[in-house]
Amino acid sequence: MILAINVYNLAYTIVFLLTFLISYLLIIQTRLENLFKQGRVWEIRVAQVMLALIFAYLLTQGIMSLVNATQFA
């Protein structure tokens, strides 16, 4: 049995996970919880994760489109 690995998808996943981690750590440092009412821990965590996912997706799309543009140039 031969294991075929799609390098593009592997690179996309690694870049996405790294940008998600960096985005999440940056969002935690911005004190986002000051925008919410006291005691809204669940909503704050959801907002932090959603923002990190959005930023990670946008950054990953941008990086991978740059890789595609330079690959065939």
Tens digit of pLDDT for each residue in 8-50?
889 999 999 999 999 999 999 988 778 777 887 888 889 899 9
Instruction: Say how far apart CA 14 and CA 32 lie, in whole Å.
Output: 26
Please report the pLDDT score of residue 31 as a whole number.
83
Count up the domains in the chain and report the number. 1
Residue 1 lies in a domain: no
Full residue range of the structural domain in which residue 62 is found: 7-71
- Quote the pLDDT of residue 41: 82
Full DSSP string of 35-69: GS-TT-HHHHHHHHHHHHHHHHHHHHHHHHHHHHH
pTM over 0.85: no
Residue 29 inside a domain? The answer is yes
Question: In this structure, is residue 2 part of a structural domain?
Answer: no
Residue 40 lies in a domain: yes
Domain membership flag for residue 50: yes
Query: Which residue has tokens 């932090």?
Result: 48
Task: Select the more confidently predicted residue: 25 or 4.
Answer: 25
Is residue 28 within 8 Å of 21, Cβ to Cβ?
Answer: no
